Amino acid sequence: KNEVEQSPQNLTAQEGEFITINCSYSVGISALHWLQQHPGGGIVSLFMLSSGKKKHGRLIATINIQEKHSSLHITASHPRDSAVYICAAPGLGTYKYIFGTGTRLKVLA
């Protein structure tokens, strides 16, 4: 079992839908990082958070440290949101990331 688990692994949505991607972790962490990777593309940082909620445009990330759970929400999804979304976290006392296996999102027009 991975120390960082994501669900779902694959997700297909219609344009305009509200999307939620979940990330659960079993290790102590100092913060959690959400990353985005478009097909054939590089890895882009979306959010890094250690508590509460962050918002950027149509993207919202939340984290509950006690429950060891984070969610990434996309409001009014668009085909350009189609990408793999990865959560990752450095363990406590370490700088090395533990990566989730990613959620492959496809938004249909």
Partner 1 sequence: NAGVTQTPKFRVLKTGQSMTLLCAQDMNHEYMYWYRQDPGMGLRLIHYSVGEGTTAKGEVPDGYNVSRLKKQNFLLGLESAAPSQTSVYFCASSYAAYGYTFGSGTRLTVV
Binding site for partner 1 (CB under 8 A): 30-31, 33, 35, 41-45, 48, 86, 88, 90, 94-97, 99-102
**Smallest distance, partner 1 to C-beta of residue 7, A:** 15
Complex with partner 1: residue 16 or 38, whichever CB lies closer: 38
Complex with partner 1: residue 9 or 75, whichever CB lies closer: 9
C-beta separation of 98 from 3 below 8 A: yes
Nearest to 22 by CA among 39, 36, 9: 9
What CA–CA distance (Å, rounded) separates 84 from 39?
A: 8
Complex with partner 1: residue 31 or 60, whichever CB lies closer: 31
Q: In what order do the strands lie in the sheet with 52-56?
A: 4-7, 19-25, 69-74, 59-64, 52-56
Alpha helices (H) along the chain: none
**Smallest distance, partner 1 to C-beta of residue 48, A:** 4
**Smallest distance, partner 1 to C-beta of residue 30, A:** 6
